[in-house]
Amino acid sequence: MKNPFENLDKVMEHRVRLQIISVLVANDSYDFNALKDLLDVTDGNLATHLKALEREKYISISKSFIDRKPNTRYKVTERGRTAFKKHLDAMEELIKQQRK
Amino acid sequence: MDKNSDYQKDIESIRHMMEKSVKFLSLSGLSGILAGVYALIGAVVAYSIVYFPQTPFDYRNQSVKEITIIIKLLSIALTVLIISILTGYLLAAKKAHKLGVKIWTTTSKRLLVNLLVPLITGGIFILFLLFYGHYGVAAPACLIFYGLSLIQASPNLYDEFRYLGYTEIILGLISAALPGYGLIFWAVGFGVLHIIYGAMMFKKYDR
């Protein structure tokens, strides 16, 4: 039997990153401030995690101006969606195995 | 074993985040009940203006034709709508404060747009109906468009809103088949149904 631990996604093993991806999978797009309010994290903390996800190309970023204020929106990429699904499956598998 | 409960917490937090980011949960069941009560009061006032002293089941003997009566009915309906929206907003703001969330979020903005598109379309359409004298189908059109806007908005709300939407549409279609009884159907759709669904949601989510 193959080891489901191998299917866990290293980048998503952090809960804040996992939460970011789940919000983006459930919504078309989300902006920085809305994410910050929702996850209840600091600016710096959120920015670090977003950068980590961006580096893996799990999310895409679009910057624009709304009323002259910068607005940064995030979207999940197809790659990110697939990785999220795989990570969920792996967690499910692990929980199942340990119950036995 | 420790790891295991970690994964379960992860999955729980995913579920929670997905729901919280998509659904607007600050709407209070109480505002549904109150909106229903306002609608019933409005229906009684409308009845006393238009039909009194006839019984409500004699509608067909007398149809609404005078423009002054139409304007009175329209202002009653608009008053009910405005007071209901105001009540809904105030109670939602209170509930959001209690839940520690903001009322003006990405989700609530999306919800508002989804709700307003069919609602404004319906409103303009109904004005045309009245303008050209199709009074008999105005009340059914109110119910049908309201039902459609609820279904449209329901992905961002509790599931009950979708069922309320279907019920309003069915009621609107029945009402369209029975012209002349518009006020009764209007009172059931906006009054009784809101009270029933509002009470259900209040019991389920507000306690």
In chain A, which residues have pLDDT < 50? 1
User: What average pLDDT is seen over chain B?
Assistant: 88
pLDDT > 90: percent of chain B: 54
- Long-range contacts of range B49-58, CB-CB < 8 Å, 24 or more positions apart? B49/B73, B49/B76, B50/B183, B51/B183, B56/B183, B56/B184
Instruction: Mark which residues 72-91 of A lie under 8 Å from B by CB.
Output: 88, 91
Cβ–Cβ contact A98 with B under 8 A = yes
- The residues, ordered by sequence, that sit 6+ positions from B188 with a Cβ below 8 Å of its Cβ are B171
Q: Which two tokens stand for residue A33?
A: 């401030």
C-beta neighbour count of B7 within 10 angstroms: 18
ipTM value: 0.77
Q: Pick the residue with more confidence: B41 or A37?
A: B41
Gap from A33 CA to chain B (nearest CA, Å): 10
Rounded to two decimals, the pTM is 0.80
What pairing do the DSSP bridges indicate for beta strands A59-66 and A30-31?
Answer: unpaired
Residue B142: predicted pLDDT: 95
The whole-angstrom separation of Cα B168 and Cα B14 is 34
Burial profile B99-127: b = 16 or more Cβ within 10 angstroms, e = fewer: eebebebbbbebbeebbeebbeebbeebe
Taking an 8 Å cut-off on Cβ atoms, the answer to whether B8 and A39 are in contact is no
Which residues, listed in sequence order, are joined to residue A71 by a DSSP beta bridge? A64
Distances (CA, A) of B64 to B39, B40, B44, B124, B138: 20, 20, 16, 20, 12
Asked whether the beta carbons of B142 and B122 are under 8 A apart, the reply is: yes
Nearest CA in chain A to B15: A22
Q: Which two tokens stand for residue B66?
A: 């005078």
Per-residue pLDDT reduced to its tens digit, B135-151: 889 999 999 999 999 99
Is the pLDDT confidence value at B60 over 90?
no
Residue A40 has, within 13 A of its CA and on its CB side, a CA count of 6
Whether B21 sits inside 8 A of A31 (CB atoms) is: no
Is A25 near chain B, with CB under 8 Å?
yes
Q: What is the pLDDT at residue B26?
A: 87
User: A66 touching B, CB under 8 A?
Assistant: no
Q: Is B18 on the interface with A (CB under 8 A)?
A: yes
Q: CB pairs below 8 Å between A and B: how many?
A: 55
Q: Given this model, what pLDDT does residue B65 score?
A: 64
Mutation for B interface: A22, A40, A84, most B CBs within 10 A: A22
B167-202 pLDDT tens trace:
999 999 999 999 888 899 999 999 999 999 999 999
